Structures are given as C-alpha cells and as structure tokens.
C-alpha cells in the first residue's frame, strides 16, 4: 500500500524534476493539443451563445471541412482555390442548417435541438463519405504553404523539439481569436451577435434579425471548424477518426462554461496539458490509454465546485 502511494503521489514528481526537458516537451505537446481542443470548443460556444443550441455536429463540421478541402484538391482544384471553395461550402452549410433545421425547430426544448444536431452529424458523415470516400487522407499542408519539420532547443540539459506546424497552429489560432474578438467588439454585426447572446427577445425588439445572426454564427463556426480541421489534419491525417477529438472538446466546454469564449480557451489548455501529464506520468500505473476519460474526470472535479463551469454565467433558477 505504501509503495503504491509512493508510485502515485511522489514518483511522478520525481520524474518531472529528474528530466525537466522531457517535462517541458510533455507540456508543449499538451499545450498544442489544448489549443486545438480550444478551437473546437470555440465553435460550440459561438453557436450555443447565439442560439442556445448544443451543437453536437461541431466535431463533424471539423472533419467535413477538412475532407472537403482535401477532396476538392484531389479532384484537381488548386489548393488555395480549394480553400476558398471550402469556405463557400461552409457558408452554404450554414444557410441550409438555418433554413432546414433551426427555423422549423424554433422554440422546441433543448434536447430536441440537440438531437437534431446529432441527426445532422449522421447526415454529414454519410454525405462526406459518399462524396469524398471514407479512407484516411493526407492534409495538403505543403500546398497551403504551412511549414513542416521541427525546431530543436537545447535547454534544461536536454533537447526539446517543437514541430513547426504546431507553432504555426498556435499563431493561427491566436490570430483567429484576435480577429473574432475585434469582430465581436467593433463591427455592427458583432454587436448584434452579442445582443442576441444576451437576450433573444430584446434583440428581436430592437430590430435584429435572428435568422441572419444564426447564419452568421454557423458560418463563423464553420470557419473555425475549417481552421481546426486543417491544423489537426496536418498533425495526423484527415478521416472520420478525427471526430473522437470532438468528444475531447466536450469536457473543455463544461470546464470553461458553455457561454464563455475565454472559458473555451482556458479550459482547452487545462484539459490539453492536464491529460497529457496524466497520461505520461500516471497512465502507466493503471495500464495506459487513460487519455480517453481523464479529461472528463478533470472537468467533473471542477464542475463539482462550479456547476456552470469556470467562466460560465451563474445559473439562476426561479420556481
């Protein structure tokens, strides 16, 4: 028993101190994973804030966007043109979702809308596979001008190796969040978006069109999904196995709160780094692969103390 307590409570920390370069590497890996989780969660939050829909299809939109990009390229379209076309496809998707799914389901209970997005998930899986085939594909990162290779640093008496694509991913993610922040803060439509997020009825009463806003948020979420898809696809490959990543974004969401963009980012980083450290230092004790559920337990522990997530709006209930 004492030995087990040593293995759980002390040994991992000893390892961290003995090999600090490896520890930094682990944190870096977790950080990059966390950024990508944040991006998926960001798509969720955008839609949840503006329409109150728990969009289960966000993960599939990531795959679908990446698949469209790669598929179009495989059909002979030049890479950057394919990128533009994919953006158009995401716009069409946003329009059709608003017109065919959201509008007829206005005022239905949350669970019905949630189920509808699961239906949308199935539809997109089938549609994407039918058009572009189900086999894993390689992301066209070279054609898009994304860097490859690694940068090595000699620090802490060892070697820390950073993939260039990961660095690029972090910069692009940061840029996108900045652009979104400016978009929300400074533009007319961004202000309308925040008004809708605050109160649907009040927004309607000052003349904001809900359906336009919904198209805009679904489109924005589509762009976020496309970016995430490119980044994640460049790290591994493009296939529907990517949707398992979407399940990782869910604990990020509950950790950060459904309604908070900073929450999605901070939550993503906590989950990304936490699960990597847990997997590397504590995973072997229980047989490994604990990554699949550790994120949920981290989120659950936070949730026990703050049921609305770290940054979520306080839930006030009246009888």
CA distance 76 to 32: 32
Tokens 């158009």, located at residue: 88
Q: How far is the CB of 201 from another protein (least distance, A)?
A: 21
Nearest-CA neighbor of 94 among 129, 53, 134, 132? Answer: 53
Residue 94 or 124 with smaller CB distance to another protein: 124
Nearest-CA neighbor of 173 among 50, 37, 10? Answer: 37
CA dihedral of residues 115, 237, 41, 195 (deg, nearest 10): -80
Residue 239 or 308 with smaller CB distance to another protein: 308
Q: How far is the CB of 24 from another protein (least distance, A)?
A: 28
Q: Note the residues at the interface with another protein (CB under 8 A).
A: 54, 100-101, 104-105, 108-112, 114-116, 118-127, 129-130, 134, 247, 250-251, 253-254, 258, 286-290, 292-293, 296-297, 299-300, 303-304, 307-309, 315, 317, 319
Measure Cα distances from 3 to 10, 113, 181, 279, 283 in Å. Answer: 10, 51, 50, 20, 17
Q: How far is the CB of 279 from another protein (least distance, A)?
A: 12
CA distance 279 to 312: 28
Residue 21 or 129 with smaller CB distance to another protein: 129
CA distance 252 to 273: 12
**Residue pair 279/272 in contact by the 8 Å Cβ criterion:** no
Q: How far is the CB of 117 from another protein (least distance, A)?
A: 9
Residue 26 or 41 with smaller CB distance to another protein: 41
Residue 187 or 289 with smaller CB distance to another protein: 289
Residue 163 or 222 with smaller CB distance to another protein: 222
**CB burial of residue 283 (10 Å; 0-12, 13-18, 19+):** middle
Range list of H helices, 52-78: 58-74
Q: How far is the CB of 318 from another protein (least distance, A)?
A: 8
Residue 66 or 252 with smaller CB distance to another protein: 252
Q: How far is the CB of 123 from another protein (least distance, A)?
A: 3
Q: How far is the CB of 269 from another protein (least distance, A)?
A: 18
């Amino acid at each position: 028993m004492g030995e087990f307590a040593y293995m759980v409570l002390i040994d991992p920390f000893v390892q961290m101190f003995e090999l600090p370069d490896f520890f930094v590497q682990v944190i870096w890996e977790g950080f990059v994973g966390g950024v990508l989780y944040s991006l998926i969660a960001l798509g969720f939050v955008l839609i949840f804030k503006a329409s109150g829909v728990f969009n289960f299809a966000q993960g599939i939109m990531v795959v679908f966007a990446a698949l469209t990009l790669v598929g179009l390229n495989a059909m002979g379209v030049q890479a950057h043109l394919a990128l533009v076309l994919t953006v158009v496809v995401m716009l069409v998707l946003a329009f059709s979702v608003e017109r065919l799914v959201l509008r007829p389901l206005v005022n239905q209970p949350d669970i019905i809308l949630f189920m509808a997005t699961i239906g949308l998930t199935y539809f997109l899986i089938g549609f994407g596979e039918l058009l572009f085939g189900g086999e894993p594909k390689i992301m066209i990162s070279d054609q898009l001008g994304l860097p490859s290779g690694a940068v090595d640093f000699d620090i802490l008496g060892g070697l820390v190796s950073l993939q260039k694509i990961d660095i690029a991913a972090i910069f692009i993610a940061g840029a996108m969040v900045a652009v979104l922040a400016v978009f929300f803060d400074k533009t007319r439509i961004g202000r309308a978006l925040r008004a809708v997020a605050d109160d649907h009825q009040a927004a309607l009463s000052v003349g904001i069109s809900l359906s336009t806003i919904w198209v805009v948020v679904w489109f924005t979420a589509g762009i976020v999904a496309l970016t995430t898809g490119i980044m994640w696809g460049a790290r591994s490959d493009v296939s529907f196995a990517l949707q398992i990543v979407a399940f990782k974004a869910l604990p990020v969401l509950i950790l950060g709160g459904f309604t908070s963009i900073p929450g999605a980012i901070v939550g993503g980083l906590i989950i990304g780094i936490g699960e990597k450290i847990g997997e590397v230092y504590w995973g072997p004790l229980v047989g490994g692969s604990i990554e699949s559920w550790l994120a949920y337990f981290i989120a659950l522990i936070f949730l026990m103390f703050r049921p609305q997530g770290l940054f979520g709006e306080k839930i006030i209930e009246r009888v």
